[in-house]
């Protein structure tokens, strides 16, 4: 693979840096993040390509943007055989493409990229960690994955300070860690004028008090447990209605549980909606019942729409939602406390409106897409410079 060209005497890259974004078959926050980079990175500095499974929103939208997509079968929790197969496929893509920088998103993609470095070499590997590892940890496999990423990556980007703790005990990881919070396009904030029309579309009364959940219907998102919270609130707040937007493996169990709780017309299961962010305009508040959350882009989208947030204080959520100012946080897994937070916001519209406005301002200050992309571009540029000057300890001079 050709080295990054250097301007004589300047130590800066003369040619465009070839970047390969590597992602699993994601459909939530990771997908939105990767696609935001694919759209937003400066094309005068970076040539962007994507490696991901051939089916899914990342591959489809990247291709629609005119970005080269290389199919690599990265599973969310790959078996050793599948991980090695994906790593070999990724190594071939990298060798043929002559990439200078590979940016892997998620634990699984970072694992595959780290393994690929055993088969081919390239100057720079960045690993972005968006969520905590979940599921069983047979034979300490999770710890082994974390240690491998810490060893193989040149930089480890976490989307929250809470995720730093995952790498706290890994030797040599501290100097590689950097936190860059996710950001959203503030030009795509939903308009409150759509409120009544969206409610009619969801068959919700215009005067209802609506608490909305936008999440993949997977165990770590806590949507199944949220139904018990909703039932509590429904008994105490007659005008309360609940909307769940999303799809996933728990869909049938959630529908059955809602029926057994007698939520009936009080609950709308909207399924997957491409316009999920726009639906924030139909809510009075957003609920994040996640049991594990690295950051929560949904919380940021709710605040951008001037909607207060009720959530568990888990993972990176306390870094996103300012408790008592942009929403209310309940202790982890304390369903009674979460129900009380939702009830408090639904029944006090003045307070809810003030929190919503504070959330909108916080989003502008802390979570804009432009700021996120600028920080990632600066990270790329710094790593390229380090590679060119051969600074020790960066891991960029590889055989």
Rg (CA), the chain: 22
Fold identical between 17-183+368-389 and 186-366?
A: yes
- DSSP code of residue 184: B
Decide the pairing of beta strands 177-179 and 209-214. unpaired
Domain spans of the chain?
A: 17-183+368-389, 186-366
Model pLDDT, residue 84: 94
Region of residue 335 (phi > 0: left; psi between -120 and 50: alpha; otherwise: beta): alpha
Model pLDDT, residue 130: 93
Residues 2, 268: Cα–Cα separation, whole Å: 55
For the purposes of burial, counting CB atoms within 10 Å of the CB of 391, is it exposed (0-12), middle (13-18) or buried (19 or more)? exposed
Q: Which fold has domain 186-366?
A: Rossmann fold (3.40.50)
Tokens of 36: 């935001």
Contacts by 98-101 with C-beta closer than 8 Å and gap 24+? 98/1, 98/2, 98/18, 99/1, 99/18, 99/19, 99/20, 99/49, 100/4, 100/17, 100/18, 100/19, 100/124, 100/384, 100/387, 101/17, 101/18, 101/19, 101/20, 101/125, 101/126, 101/380, 101/383, 101/384
Residues 240, 67: Cα–Cα separation, whole Å: 45
pTM of the model: 0.88
For the purposes of burial, counting CB atoms within 10 Å of the CB of 345, is it exposed (0-12), middle (13-18) or buried (19 or more)? buried
DSSP SS3 for 237: coil
Asked if 377 and 41 touch (Cβ cutoff 8 Å), the reply is yes
Q: Could you tell me which CATH class the domain 17-183+368-389 is placed in?
A: alpha beta
Q: Which residues lie below 8 Å from residue 344, measured CB to CB, with a gap of 6+?
A: 328, 351
Closest CA to 290 of 23, 57, 28, 18: 28
The neighbouring-strand residues paired with 368 are 184
Asked if 316 and 132 touch (Cβ cutoff 8 Å), the reply is no
CB atoms within 10 A of CB 191: 9
Closest CA to 28 of 241, 235, 213: 213
pLDDT along the chain (399 residues), means of 10: 39 72 86 93 95 91 94 87 94 96 96 95 95 68 85 95 88 91 91 92 95 95 97 97 96 97 96 91 97 95 97 97 98 97 98 97 96 97 84 40
Residues 397, 121: Cα–Cα separation, whole Å: 10
Q: How far is CA 168 from CA 95, 116, 162, 165, 172, in A?
A: 32, 24, 10, 5, 10
């Amino acid at each position: 693979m050709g080295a990054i060209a250097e301007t004589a005497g300047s130590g800066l890259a003369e040619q465009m840096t070839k970047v390969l974004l590597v992602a699993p078959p994601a459909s939530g926050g990771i997908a939105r993040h990767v696609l935001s980079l694919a759209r937003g990175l400066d094309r005068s500095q970076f040539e962007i390509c994507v490696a991901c499974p051939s089916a899914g929103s990342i591959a489809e939208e990247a291709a629609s943007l005119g970005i080269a997509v290389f199919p690599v079968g990265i599973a969310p929790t790959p078996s050793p055989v599948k991980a090695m197969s994906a790593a070999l496929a990724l190594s071939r893509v990298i060798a043929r493409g002559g990439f200078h920088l590979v940016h892997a998103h998620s634990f699984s993609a970072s694992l595959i990229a780290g393994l690929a470095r055993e088969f081919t070499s390239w100057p720079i590997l960045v690993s972005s960690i968006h969520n905590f590892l979940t599921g069983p940890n047979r034979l300490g496999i999770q710890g082994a994955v974390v240690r491998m990423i810490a060893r193989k990556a040149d930089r480890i980007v976490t989307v929250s300070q809470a995720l730093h703790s995952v790498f706290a005990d890994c030797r040599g990881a501290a100097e590689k860690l950097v936190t860059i919070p996710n950001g959203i396009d503030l030009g795509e904030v939903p308009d409150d004028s759509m409120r009544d029309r969206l409610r009619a579309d969801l068959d919700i009364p215009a005067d209802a008090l609506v608490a909305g959940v936008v999440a993949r219907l997977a165990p770590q998102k806590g949507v199944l447990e949220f139904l018990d919270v909703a039932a509590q609130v429904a008994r105490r707040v007659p005008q309360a209605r609940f909307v769940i937007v999303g799809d996933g493996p728990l869909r049938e169990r959630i529908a059955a549980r809602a029926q057994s709780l007698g939520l009936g017309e009080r609950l709308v299961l909207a399924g997957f909606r491409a316009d999920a962010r726009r639906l924030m305009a139909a809510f009075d508040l957003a609920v994040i019942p996640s049991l594990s959350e690295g950051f929560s882009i949904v919380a940021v989208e709710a605040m951008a729409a001037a909607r207060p947030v009720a959530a568990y204080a888990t993972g990176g959520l306390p870094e996103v939602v300012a408790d008592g100012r942009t929403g209310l946080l309940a202790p982890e897994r304390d369903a009674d406390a979460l129900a009380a937070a939702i009830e408090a916001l639904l029944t006090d519209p003045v307070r809810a409106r003030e929190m919503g406005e504070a959330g909108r301002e916080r989003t502008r200050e802390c979570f804009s897409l432009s700021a996120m992309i600028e920080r990632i571009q600066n990270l790329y540029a710094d790593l390229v410079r380090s590679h060119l000057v051969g600074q020790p300890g960066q891991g960029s001079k590889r055989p």
